[in-house]
Structure 1
Amino acid sequence: MIRRIIRENGRDYVKTYVFAAFCLVLVAASTAFMAWIMEAVINEAFAKKNADMIWLICGSVLAAFVIRGAASYGQAVALAQVGNNLVARYQQRLLDHLMSLGVSYFGDTRSAQIAAQISQNVAGIRDVMNLTITSFARDLLTLIALLVVMVTKDPILSIIVFIGAPPVLIALRYISKRLRSATRESIDLNSRVLSAMQETVQGITIVKAFTMEEQISARTADLIKAAEGRSNRIARLTERTSPLTETVAGLAISGVIAYAAFRSIYGDVLPGAFFSFITALLLAYDPARRLARLQINLERAVVNARMIYEILDEKPTQGDRPGAGELAVDKGEIEFRDIGFGYGKGEIVLDAVSFTAEAGKTTAIVGPSGAGKSTLISLVPRFYDPASGQVLIDGVDIATVTKKSLRHRIAYVSQQAWLFEGSIRDNLRYARPDATDAEIEDAARLANAHEFILAQPQGYDTLLGENGVNLSGGQRQRISIARALVRNAPVLLLDEATSALDNESEAAVQSALERAMKNRTVLVIAHRLSTIAKADRIVVMQAGRVVEIGNHADLSAAKGGLYARLQAFSEMAQPETSSAAEAEAEGSKP
């Protein structure tokens, strides 16, 4: 994993890393110099009382600290900039990759889980790179330089210190292996906690409406408790190195002091070399401790990075075929030819569906819930690919053209009106970035949205809350319809486009849609049959099959047919709706 990260990113930052490494070398050299010069400080200034050397020694010490400070600043800023750029680069890379994946991936993976996993782990890439550079360019070089000082000042004392290294390394290797699985479990649990919180916030109205607060709190508490337990286990494993390294360091330093003290007392040896050695030993303790914990810290960073690459390595399931061409729509005729589809193995959602939506006309698809209407319409923009059969536009199999060119020629209005961060104008312009303000406002007028948009605090420049929460459901849907009209595509797909509208808004939008449908091929799904009575052709589906095809008059006259039964149910419900509307109007009179 470390090799992969360096291979993918190292070349882009080589100049910055070389500069940071140079600064770290200066830090290491100046640190070693401070230990080396201690012998001269003790012997010349205190033992021999050589006044001439004091100014040279003091100037050297000052220069070493200035160099060390400047080098520390340079490497810290350089590595921070690289680290921040790495995080930004992988965030963009993840977003781009997620948008390249098929709709089926998001059907199998919870969106809150994806968001939590990304926010938890994206910094792992930065940590791997920075830990690798700082450990080798700063800590390892500093340690080596200080060890050279120690060996040159007193080889025997150095041997005493080295005796304690093997037990520490063996213990750290054992701890790092156990830490790997604990870190993975902790990240998974924390992601689930963040996911649960995000879903609760998004569905807060349902939580309160069904008084789910205690249930949600109890369920999330179990996750939080488990995450806390894993975090405590990681803390215990990670911090086990502290008593071990401190004990070994204490034994080494106390042994060095004892040996040097007896030698100075009974051997009449100047203390300068000892002070230089002990300074180098104390300065070497921090880089040695960081290097000792390097494998543990890298384990945690690599686990984070690996979970990011699990998303990046997810293969798009609907890539364009080699040599796929651009779709050119002339008339806009859509043909479903013997379509079969199922979301899972053995599941049949669509079974041998065949019919043609004539160019420039409106084809309505009706049927009871679960008949496969929305699934069928989702095959046109290739949200999914059929398991068998073909979808053709003007005789061209849409599987043989690029998805981008296909979707550019389709305008789509879903059951849920999804709006995005930004202003109302921004959301409308997503459909066609080069659309003028006049074209955007014309589309809003057609969707019966212009007046209520102007009534907003900043009109078209009003910023929307999360998914347009500051608008009503009907207003959000009308903006969604206006966005589809801005697209100005030859094919228009309406999946329950008026489902969120009240009767008055539905009538206005339906009238606008009838104008917008002219000279376009329209596929429309509707439960309320009154909204599709004027359709040129009606396809009736049941249990994934086409059972009737005709116009409203012919299908209504077919006694015992499914459409006639659906119409009867619709007419039975209509008086109730009308009565309720009349009662509401009556109650509002003064």
Structure 2
Amino acid sequence: MVKKKRPSLLASREERGLVVRLLKRVFSENGREYLGQYGLAIACLVVISATTAFLAWIMRDVIDQIFVAQNRAVLYSLPVAIFLAFFLRGMASYWQGVILSRIGNNIVARYQRRLFHHLTELSVDFYTENRSAHLAARINQNVSGIRDTLNLTVTSLARDLLSLVFLVGVMIWQDPVLSAIALLAGPPVGWMISSLSRKLRAATRQAIDLNARVLASMQEVAQGITVVKAFTMEEVLRQRIEGLIVAAEQRSNRIARITERSGPVTETVAGLAIGAVIGYSGYRAIAYGYSPGGMFAFITALLLAYDPARRLAKLQVQLERALVNAQMIYEVLDLTPRQADPPGAAELAVLRGEIAFDAVEFGYHPGEPVLKGLSFVAPAGRTTALIGASGGGKSTVIALIQRFYDVHGGRILVDGQDIRSVTKASLRRHIAYVSQQPYMFEGTIRDNIRFGRPEASDAEVEAAARMAQALEFIEQQPQGFDTPLGENGMTLSGGQRQRLSIARALVRNAPILLLDEATSALDTRSEVLVQQALDEAMKDRTVIVVAHRLSTIVNADQILVVDGGEIVEQGTHADLIGRAESVYSRFHSLQSRPTGAAAMALAAEVVK
């Protein structure tokens, strides 16, 4: 039997240790910041506790002096004292509520800022491993955990515990024997609450995860509603979300059962204690003539003590829920960015903008290399194009230049400086990036262009839009540059969003420009306009462009054919097209005949 109980005993000790460490962290991070405000709130709570005890204590004089002795001298003073006690209690209740709400709201705001700052510092691989919608939903549910932990602890200690202590003091002062009878209810209730809290911890975490998945699924449906309707996925998604909702509902019901399970036991034990006290005190009053005022004061104190005692009994259960939320917030805040700047990292100094890959090795997963000793030089002020079959490593090159990931072997140099030895911020300040799927943020058209360089003037924003061939459609918008965009710019066409993305890159005015399939998803007219914008953007910059359409790179200063993480061919368009049986010439032939069985066969040959 002893061997079977040991693991649970160890587990409970570890859980208690975790709770203590978590509480220490919450108070160490926030206690000093709000020390003065919590002091005021505690003072108000002390007033509430003291006036509550005073109301029980004064009942003895009310009964004995007014109703028994019929003392006219106290007929006015005692009611006034009771009125003042209630008035002070009401004012103290108001101010403690206002102060604690302000503290709680500020704590939520602080941790929201801290979380957002930390999320922007985390590496790209964190977001590839975690679904953004699930992450946002989970954070939204958990951010109040630290506030609830602090407020529950303060109110429970300063109001409920003090009220209970004061009222028990009144009870003992009135009658120690009856007090001992009433206090016998404490140990069994405490044992039961301790047992329930352990069950609640696991159930709460599961409920938070399930609710986060429900919210994340709804968010994804809203974002992809056109795909949902196009493929008639409504019923499939309804069934999937229905399963999550049912599971979340069942878990929430379990939490409710665990949380409220203390109610019947607490009420039953308290009822037995109060009934025993009333019966015994009544017997003594009848049999031995004890003062009715003393008995009434004792019973009043006992009844008033029941409410704070009941809240304290539920404190551990409520605190467990708050601590689970707080712990899940800290799990995010404690994540360390994998691409951290090295100690003493210098600012990148870009004089020319030459980029060199020196035997670079990289893979997203262990044992699955994407780049295998890749080496090349992108000359400063020139355009270098990367082409090849999908999955060959072209977009990986773009990601590594921006240091979204760290290389596993070799070096990436910008003007001879290893990008791992400089700060990420200084590296990225010198780079403008246009992706295959341009992302538009909440705000106006002007705001989205200005994200490229927040300090850019309106004139610079408009000049960038003109160079990006975007001025025509912007002026047709209801409010021009000040037109608000829908979610991810869905009110604009793909070509229009791409031109805004190019304008964002142009206003950045960076010496290095990275283009990742910037025209692959455009129609012919949009491609012509975007290509004109790109030609303008590429002037006097070091450009690395990834493209499948050869028409966009025929004028590149050098073309690198990437296959299986290695460069298999290199040269200009004229050089490569003239080589018999080259991979590049086969790509060119494929795009010259874009339809038919011959094209399909040629595509298969190129992939090989």
Residues 407-426 of structure 1: pairs in structure 2 closer than 5 A: 407-426=428-447
Residue 365, structure 1, aligned to residue 386, structure 2: yes
Task: Measure, in 2, the Cα distance between the counterparts of 1:575 and 1:258.
Answer: 98
What letter corresponds to residue 249 of structure 1 in structure 2? Answer: A
**2:555 corresponds to which of 500, 520, 534:** 534
1:392 to 413, 416, 436: 413
What is the alpha-carbon distance in structure 2 between the residues aligned to residue 205 and residue 440 of structure 1? 32
Match of 1:343 in 2: 364
Q: Distance in 1 between matches of 2:420 and 2:185?
A: 67
The one-letter code matched in structure 2 to 1:252 is A
Unaligned segments of structure 2, at least 5 residues: 1-21, 598-608
State how 1:456-475 maps to structure 2 within 5 Å: 456-475=477-496
Partner Cα distance (2:330, 2:572) in 1: 53
C-alpha separation in 1, matches of 2:264 and 2:551: 78
Alignment of 1:239-250 (within 5 A): 239-250=260-271
Match of 1:14 in 2: 35
CA distance in 1, matches of 2:414, 2:207: 50
1:58-207 aligned within 5 A: 58-207=79-228
Structure 1 counterpart of 2:519, which letter? Answer: T
State how 1:538-557 maps to structure 2 within 5 Å.
538-557=559-578
1:23 maps to which residue? 44
Structure 2 contact 468–536 (Cα < 8 Å) conserved: no
Q: Which residue of 2 aligns with 1:275?
A: 296
Aligned to 2:25: 4
SS in structure 1 at match of 2:561? strand
Deviation at 1:100, TM superposition (A): 0.6
> What per-residue deviation string (whole Å, max 9, x for no partner) do you get for residues 118-138 of structure 1?
011111110000001001011
Matched AA of 1:92: R
Shift of 1:501: 2.5
Corresponding position: 1:381 with 2:402: yes
Give the equivalent residue in structure 2 for 1:301: 322
| 547-556 or 230-239, larger mean C-alpha shift | 230-239
Which residue identity does 2:302 align to in structure 1? L
For residue 38 of structure 1, the aligned residue among 59, 80, 85 is: 59
Partner of 1:209: 230
Residue 581 of structure 2 corresponds to 560
Task: Read off the aligned partner of 2:68 and give its amino acid letter.
Answer: A
Q: Could you tell me which residue of structure 2 aligns to residue 54 of structure 1?
A: 75
Alignment of 1:569 onto 2:590: yes
- Give 1:453's aligned residue: 474
Q: 2 CA distance for matches of 1:435 and 1:281? A: 70
Say which SS state the counterpart of residue 271 (structure 2) adopts: helix
Q: Out of 503, 516, 523, which is 1:482 matched to? A: 503
Aligned to 1:582: none
Task: Give how far 1:575 is off.
Answer: 11
CA displacement, residues 83-117 of structure 1 (integer Å, 9 cap, x when unaligned):
00111111111111111111011011111111011
Structure-2 residue corresponding to 1:521: 542
Distance 2:165 2:571 in 1: 86
| C-alpha distance in structure 2 between counterparts of 1:277 and 1:536, whole Å | 95
How many pairs align? 576
Tell me the residue number matched to 1:310: 331
Residues 477, 500 of structure 1: 8 Å contact kept: no
Does the 8 Å CA contact 1:360/1:521 hold for their aligned counterparts? Answer: yes
Summarize deviations over 1:427-464 as a string: whole Å, max 9, x none.
11111111111111111011111111111111111111
TM-score by length of 2: 0.93
Q: CA separation in 1, counterparts of 2:520 and 2:582?
A: 25
The answer to whether the aligner puts 1:229 opposite 2:250 as a matched pair is yes
Q: Which residue of 2 aligns with 1:252?
A: 273
The farther-off stretch of 285-294 and 493-502 is 493-502
How far the C-alpha of 1:71 sits from its partner, in A, is 0.6
Deviation at 1:512, TM superposition (A): 2.5
Instruction: Indicate the larger mover: 331-340 or 505-514.
Output: 505-514
Give the deviation of 1:36 after TM superposition.
Answer: 0.5
What is the rounded CA distance, in whole Å, between the counterparts of 1:135 and 1:279 in structure 2? 21
**4+ residue stretches of structure 1 with deviation over 6 A?**
none
Question: Secondary structure, in 3 states, of the residue corresponding to 1:417?
Answer: coil
Which residue of 2 is the match for residue 579 of structure 1? none
Alignment of 1:422-437 (within 5 A): 422-437=443-458
Identity of aligned residues (%): 58
Partner residue, 1:587 = none
Residue 283 of structure 2 corresponds to which residue in structure 1?
262
SS class of match (2:232): coil
**Following TM superposition, by how much is the alpha carbon of 1:496 offset from its aligned partner in structure 2, in angstroms?**
1.0
Once the two structures are TM-superposed, the CA of residue 198 in structure 1 deviates from its matched residue by 1.3
Task: Give the deviation of 1:518 after TM superposition.
Answer: 1.3
Secondary structure in 2 aligned to 1:354? strand
Q: Is the 8 A contact 1:340 1:348 kept in 2?
A: yes
Output one character per residue of 1:241-294: Cα deviation in whole Å (capped at 9) or x when no partner. 000010011111111111111111121222101111111111111100010111
Tell me how far apart the structure 1 counterparts of residues 206 and 536 of structure 2 sit (CA, whole Å). 57
* Superposed CA RMSD: 1.2
Task: Please give the alpha-carbon distance, in whole angstroms, between the structure 2 residues aligned to 1:225 and 1:165.
Answer: 38
Report the residue type matching 2:201 in the other structure. Answer: R
Deviations, residues 525-556 of structure 1 (Å, cap 9, x unaligned): 11100011011110111111110110000000
Shift of residue 508, structure 1, vs aligned partner: 2.0
Distance in 2, matches of 1:82 and 1:154, equals 41
SS at match of 1:11: coil
Other-structure match for 1:581: none
TM-score normalized by the length of structure 1: 0.96
1:191-225 Cα offsets, whole Å, 9 max, x none, are 11111111111111111111111111111111111
Q: Which amino acid aligns with 2:558?
A: R
Query: Which residue matches 2:601?
Result: none
Equivalence for 2:19: none
Give the Cα–Cα distance (whole angstroms) in 1 for the partners of residues 521 and 499 of structure 2.
Answer: 9
Secondary structure in structure 1 of the residue aligned to 2:34:
helix
